Amino acid sequence: MTDTPGIVITGASGRMGRMLVETVAAAPACKLVGALERPGHDWIGQDVGAAMGGQPLGVTVSDDPVAAFARAQAVIDFTAPAATVEFADLAAQARAVHVIGTTGLSEDDLARLSRAARHAVIVRAGNMSLGVNLLVQLTKRVAAALDEDFDIEVIEAHHNRKVDAPSGTALMLGEAAAKGRGRDLTEVSDRARDGMTGVRRRGDIGFSAVRGGDIVGEHDVLFAGPGERIVLRHVASDRRLFAKGALRAALWGQDRKPGDYDMIDVLGLAD
């Protein structure tokens, strides 16, 4: 692995972007070499540390990803689907590890990321925390152990500024439950309930989303059977855990073979 890999943060002015800038700048195992924002943003041309209201970090905010990626060994990206797929192509050309925390990606977006992963390392996860990825593994195992007499519901809660639902983490958990039962989530997913929906279909995996206040992230997986309920739960109280996980992924990806990875790979939790 490169001794001190250079890392670029996309969407530097956002809530996660700022957290990532702080986390990378403070880490001795890497160096912050770039901070990106969309063209026309007020931060363009400013030192990213000063723009955040702190001490200068010696990194100027830019709207030129090509130049930024050319001097980087990794890109950490928590932006929006349209931006992420563009960044994936450019990161692949630069052979930089692309760590993706963006959610709300479509099937077409995922196909484009898979093409980019032929040329560079992509680590993509709806959630970068150790605890959530342990919960994913537990969900898969519990789903495999219980039959369809147990209904599965993924219940998630986030702050009122989150724009996509279900959350990327909720979908990770739903995928894990479906895999545990040997099913395709697209065939058993139940996301919309309003009005006279009829009874719940046996084997469906339901999703419920709560949006309010400043909730960082809460996820429950409910297994509701006759006479008993099992609830697996994860509560995040500090966004730094996502930034630390993303940085861990960026360092893990150095000198790996090109491919499409996730945090289960990074944390060594794969079956």
The pLDDT value given to residue 103: 87
The pLDDT value given to residue 186: 94
Q: Are residues 188 and 120 both part of a single domain?
A: no
pLDDT at 270 over 90: no
**Number of separate domains in the chain:** 2
Q: Are residues 142 and 215 both part of a single domain?
A: yes
In angstroms, rounded to a whole number, what is the distance separating the alpha carbons of residues 37 and 35? 7
The pLDDT value given to residue 269: 81
Give per-residue pLDDT as tens, 117-155.
999 999 999 889 889 999 999 999 999 999 999 999 999
Domain CATH number, residue 46: 3.40.50.720
Assess whether 41 carries a catalytic annotation. no
Crossing angle of helices 130-145 and 240-252, in 10° steps, is 90
The pLDDT value given to residue 271: 66
Assess whether 159 carries a catalytic annotation. no
The pLDDT value given to residue 26: 97
The pLDDT value given to residue 111: 97
248 domain-assigned? yes
pLDDT at 58 over 90: yes
196 domain-assigned? yes
The pLDDT value given to residue 2: 52
Cβ-based burial of 208 (10 A; exposed 0-12, middle 13-18, buried ≥19)? middle
In angstroms, rounded to a whole number, what is the distance separating the alpha carbons of residues 136 and 44? 39
86 domain-assigned? yes
Q: Are residues 252 and 214 both part of a single domain?
A: no
Nearest C-alpha neighbor of 177 from the set 221, 241, 133, 218: 221
Reading the block at residue 197, the tokens are: 């929906």
Q: Are residues 89 and 182 both part of a single domain?
A: no
The pLDDT value given to residue 3: 78
The pLDDT value given to residue 175: 96
Q: Are residues 119 and 243 both part of a single domain?
A: yes
Q: Are residues 70 and 90 both part of a single domain?
A: yes
The pLDDT value given to residue 134: 92
The pLDDT value given to residue 182: 97
1 domain-assigned? no
Mean pLDDT taken over the chain: 95
Q: What is the mean pLDDT of residues 88-116?
A: 96
Catalytic residue among 158, 219, 234, 244: 158
Give per-residue pLDDT as tens, 237-253.
988 999 999 999 999 99
What range defines the domain where residue 101 resides? 6-124+239-266
Give per-residue pLDDT as tens, 170-220.
999 999 999 999 999 999 999 978 899 899 999 999 999 999 999 999 999
Sheet with 217-225, strands from edge to edge, namely 189-190, 205-211, 151-158, 217-225, 228-236
Q: What is the mean pLDDT of residues 87-113?
A: 96
Give per-residue pLDDT as tens, 208-241.
999 999 999 999 999 999 999 999 999 999 889 9
Catalytic residue among 31, 41, 119, 162: 162
Q: Are residues 15 and 110 both part of a single domain?
A: yes
